[in-house]
Structure 1
Amino acid sequence: MVKVEIVEDKDQRTAGSSPYSSPSSSRTSSSTSLSSVSSELNDEETLFERIGALIDIIPPTTRHSISTKVSKAASFMMRGGKLAGNIVWVVTTSALLVGLPLAMTLEDEAKIVAEEKAMLAQQQGAQGMIAGYPGSSPDGSQPKPLVPPGF
Structure 2
Amino acid sequence: MVKLTEVEDEHFVEKPIGTKNDALLLSDDEDDYTDTDSEISDASDDELEEETIYDRISALKDIVPPSARHTVTNSIDAITSFGKASLSFSGKALWIISTSAFLIGVPWALAYAEEEQYIQMEREQGMIKGANEMLTPGSEPEKNDAAQQIL
TM range (shorter): 0.5 to 0.7
User: Alpha carbons of 1:137 and 1:75: their partners in 2 closer, same or farther (altered >3 Å)?
Assistant: closer
Q: CA deviation at 1:82?
A: 1.1
Does 2:123 correspond to 1:117?
Answer: yes
Counting matched residue pairs gives: 114
Q: Which protein has the bigger helix share?
A: 2
Task: Tell me which residue corresponds to 1:89.
Answer: 95
After superposition, give the CA deviation of every residue in 1:21-77 in whole Å (9 maximum; x if it has no partner).
Answer: xx9567xxxx859x7463323111111111111111122232222112211111011
User: Alpha carbons of 1:36 and 1:114: their partners in 2 closer, same or farther (altered >3 Å)?
Assistant: same
Q: CA deviation at 1:114?
A: 0.7
Q: Which amino acid aligns with 1:56?
A: D
User: Residue 77 of structure 2 is aligned with which of 49, 71, 79?
Assistant: 71
Task: Tell me which residue corresponds to 2:111.
Answer: 105
Q: Distance in 2 between matches of 1:103 and 1:45?
A: 65
The root-mean-square deviation of aligned C-alpha atoms, in Å, is 3.4
Greater relative contact order: 1 or 2 (C-alpha under 8 angstroms, separation 6 or more)? 1
Structure-2-length-normalised TM-score: 0.60
> Sequence identity, in percent?
27
Structure-1-length-normalised TM-score: 0.60
Structure 2 unaligned spans of 5+: 13-31, 146-151
Task: Tell me which residue corresponds to 1:3.
Answer: none
Runs of 4+ in 1 over 6 A off after TM superposition: none
Q: Distance in 1 between matches of 2:119 and 2:81?
A: 55
Q: Distance in 2 between matches of 1:93 and 1:25?
A: 85
Does 2:104 correspond to 1:80?
Answer: no
